[in-house]
Structures are given as C-alpha cells and as structure tokens.
A and B are shown apart, each in its own frame.
Chain A
Amino acid sequence: MSSAPPKTRPGSWTVRVREAGVAALPPEKLLPDGQPTYVASWIYVFGVASIASLVVIVASGSILALKGPAWWHYTGVGHFFNSIHMWAVELFFFVMVVHLWGKYWMAAWRGGRARVWMTGAVTFLVAVPTALTGYVSQQNFDAQWIATQAKDGLNSVGVGAFFNVTNFGQMYSYHVLLLPMAVIGLVTAHVLLVRRHGVVPPFELEER
C-alpha cells in the first residue's frame, strides 16, 4: 500500500498560491536571522515599536471589548485598561511618526520600494479615523463634543450621509472591528513588502 503524497497538479489553485508565496517570500526571507550591517542606528527600532504599540492597543482594546463599552466607567480595573489603551494610542502615533520621519530622510522608497512607503502612509491615514471612532465611542462628554463637531466636517464632503459619528452603534462597530482589520491588513502588507524588498540600502556617497 503506497503512502506517498499525491502528485502535485500544476493547475491547482492551492499549488499556485503556495508556489507564488514561497517564490516571493521563502522562509529565510520571511523570517531572516541576519540583516545588512548598515542597519545600525536607533532610528530603525521605530518600525517594530509601531507594531509593538499596535499589539498593546489591540490587547487592551480586546479586554475593553470583552467587558462591553460601559465597563470602564464604573470599575477601577476597567478604567485602568482604558488608560493603557489611551496611552498605547499616544505611543503608537508617537513612534509611527518618528518612524515616518526616519524613512523620509532615508528616502526609503528607493530601489523599487515605493509600495512600502505607500502602504505605510495609508496606514497612518487609516489610523486617524480609527482613533476618531474610538474617541466618539467613549460615551462621555469628550465623545459628545467630538461627535457633534466632527459631524460638520464629515457632512461637508458627503461622508456623513453614510458614516454617522453621532451613531454610537455604528462607530463602535467601525472602531472595534472594521478599522482595526484595515490597519492590521495594511501593516501586514507593509511588513511583507519590507521582507520582500529588504531594508533600503544607504545612499551611495559617490553620486552627487
């Protein structure tokens, strides 16, 4: 009785996806254990710091989601997790923007890396409404004020017709599910592109 694996069929979608994936990102490229010697500056830690902040945001946000949106208002533990979530967001934007500044001054889009820059830029731009939906989901005075003010900007460009910042249910859904999925998807694409193209090498000094 043969226990050999079945012959691979070239027309199989699974085979095609697998082979394309492995060609683009073989394991040693996906998870390398070496990096070029020019990666030697503290500026390089701000990318992973951004990811780390996102992890803390999602983890603390998950605790808040587990207990529901009212919990943090009436328990000390809930308030503490809300504080962690808030400060993690401040840290996230802090390190992400320092990372952005570093990548700009390195012109990190060189050598076919334009999509790395672009996915990063779009991540920042999607993180802004992710934060906004969080602010209007707080169910406190800040949420009331931000919602009644932000609606004017959004209504002015017609977005308010389908994205209603005074509708708590809608904003909470965007904040807890839809926009975090978008941010995580974009960060994943961004990181895989970095792994694919490698960290951008230094400018050559000979070129003036």
Chain B
Amino acid sequence: MRSRDDTQPWKGGYQPYDLVKEACIAVGVIALLAIVLSILFSSPDDKPSTIAQWSRTLPVNFLTAAATELDGTSGTAGYGPPYNHNSKGVHAVFLYPQKWLGVSHPIDTARDFVLDPLKTVPNDPTLQGAIAQYESAPAATQKAWGEAYAKPLEETAAAEEEEKPLPKTVSLDPATDTVTVQAPGAGPVGTLMTGLLSLAKSGGLDGALLTSDQFFQTDYTKPLLFMADGGLLEKRAEEQHLLGEQWGMMNETGSYPGQAWLWLYSLWYQVEPFKSSENADIWVLLLMSVLSLAFIAIPLLPGIRSIPRKIPIYKLIWREHYRESSPRSSA
C-alpha cells in the first residue's frame, strides 16, 4: 500500500467550520480572561529609584560609588565597549564581539558622572576651586588622591559585607545627615565628593546626568549606569528575588508571574561552567543562539523530528479519526 502524500490536499472527510466565528469567540474569551485576571490581581508598579533617593538613604554607598567613578575603578569605568575602551570586554575563545562592535555610547565616568555635573553648581567658589585643582593635576596625582579617598570607604563596605565592626574613618551624623570621611592625602577629592553628594540629594544630579547633552532627552543610560554601580538597585532587587542567582531573570516584582519563557536562559547561569565564568554572558547567549536555531530547524533534524512518531502522543490527539477510519468502523 502506497503511503499517502501529505503535500496533497486532504481527500478524506470534511466537516462544516466557521473560521471567522471561531476567531471572534477566541478574542472574546481571551479578552474576558485578561479582564478577569486584571480585576483579580492588577499589575505591579514599583516606583523607580532616583539618585536623589540613593544619596539620601545610602549616603556612604553613594560616596563609595562616586569615588570609584572619579578614580576609574567602577563597574562602568572598567566596562569596555560600548561605553569606553578601558577593557576588552567578555569573550568566547577568539570571539570578541563586544570589542569588535566598538564604543557607540562613550562614557568617561570621571568627567560625565562627577566633574561636569559639579561644574553646573553655582556660587560655590570652594568647589569650583577644588575642580580646577583636580583637573590641573597630573594623572598620577589624581589617581593617588582618588585611591586615598576611596580606601576608608572600601574598608567600610568590606566590613559591612563581612558583618565586622565598621572602621571609624567613615561616619554618618544622623542629626545633620552629613558624612565625614577621614582620608588624609586625598587632596581636593573630599570637597568634590561632598559637593557631589549635596548635588545628588537635591535632585540636581538626576537632572544633570539626563540632560547633559540636550534639553529633550529619552536616554537614561548615564543615570542608570551610575545607579547600577551602587547598591540601591541591587538591594531592592534582592528583596524582590530579581538577582541572577535567584533566577531573577524570570521573575517579576512582588508575587506576579514574570517571564516564565526565560527558564532555559536563566538555568544556564545556575550551573557550571557558566556559574563561575567571567564570560558567562557571551557563552550563555551563544548556547541559546545555537539552541534557538536548532528549534527553528527541527523539521530538518534527524532524530529530533522522529520523536513524535516514536512517542505516540498523536494517537491520543487523533484517536477519533483512527477509530472512525479503521476497517471495522466502516458501515
């Protein structure tokens, strides 16, 4: 018996079918479901963080991040492309696409996050003098000042993380809300940082970072990268189970369902060798790209395309057809 050619139109039985009515019913049912779910559960809308909030609630953390932006040791400063050339970025063997695609969104953290915003502060000759002193110093001196200022802050951050007693070199006065950093040898950096903290608390830094290039702006890269170098976003994310090691990519704030379809993408980050690799991002994406191409190409893949025949779930799906068309059932 010749097997049927499935490229040809079906020659067996047909039944009446109202395609347009079915589509309308489907739209009605789905719309109703979406409305009922919306009435029952609504949707999340956690307010965004601002640099002003960050600097007010976590001033020491803000200063720690700001110091690293000035001395070029922050995450953004050392990121590499597309922000700067200070690193080659991640790679997979000989593949360096991050480097190859170049610096398309240049950011000089010392200038863009610290010095240029500070220059907008009016009527503060001490601050403007400190800026001039910093800018006219040789690079080696700037580096030494920056490291001297950052040292007590980094020691405090490390002590906090290890839950040890905090060094006395950094203190926060809750009455006046001022931070004092004892950093001998920091030159004008102390004045710059105090000025930046003050600008941040007033909301001026949020504005300065956003509108630095032009009045109308929809690109939030600078304020977002600055905040991401600090601890506030991460703190909120951890509370909401959004961190990478919490499978956060799949999650939504609150107890809402998130992006369940990212399960496989999230999974690789939890297992070796990706878990401890510095280049996890590119390796996981390359792996997912290969798997995605395989997913598209399933009809062409021997073995994978034969599984539905071997595991006959189809016999359940088409059981009525098989029953009706078996020789015993013909009238």
Direct contact of A and B (CB under 8 A): yes
Chain A interface residues toward B at CB < 8 A: 31-41, 43, 45, 48-49, 51-53, 55-56, 59-60, 72-73, 79-80, 82-84, 86-88, 90-91, 93, 95, 97, 102, 104-107, 109-114, 117-118, 121-122, 125, 128, 131, 135, 138-145, 147-149, 152-153, 155-162, 164, 166-170, 172, 197-198, 200-207
**Contact across chains for A53 and B30 when beta carbons are under 8 A apart:** yes
How far in angstroms is the closest Cβ of chain A from B222?
Answer: 9
Chain B interface residues toward A at CB < 8 A: 1, 3-10, 12-20, 22-23, 26-27, 29-31, 33-35, 37-38, 41-49, 79, 81-82, 89-90, 97-98, 100-102, 104-105, 218-221, 224-225, 227-228, 233, 236-237, 242, 244, 248-249, 252-253, 256-257, 259-262, 279, 281-282, 284-286, 292, 295-300, 305, 308-309, 311-314, 317-318, 320-322, 324
Contact of B30 among A40, A43, A49, A172 (CB under 8 A): A49
A113 to B5 Cα, complex, angstroms: 12
How far in angstroms is the closest Cβ of chain B from A91?
Answer: 6
Q: Known: A33-B18, A55-B27, A167-B221. Is A111-B322 also a contact (CB below 8 A)?
A: no
A154 to B18 Cα, complex, angstroms: 45
**Contact across chains for B220 and A167 when beta carbons are under 8 A apart:** yes
**Contact across chains for A111 and B101 when beta carbons are under 8 A apart:** no
A118 to B252 Cα, complex, angstroms: 30
Note all chain A residues with C-beta closer than 8 A to B221. 164, 166-167
**Contact across chains for A82 and B43 when beta carbons are under 8 A apart:** yes
How far in angstroms is the closest Cβ of chain B from A199?
Answer: 8
A37 to B15 Cα, complex, angstroms: 6
For the residues of A in contact with B, the DSSP-based class is helix
How far in angstroms is the closest Cβ of chain A from B288?
Answer: 9
- CB closest chain-A residue, reference B91: A156
- CB closest chain-A residue, reference B82: A161
Contact of A93 among B35, B89, B253, B261 (CB under 8 A): B261
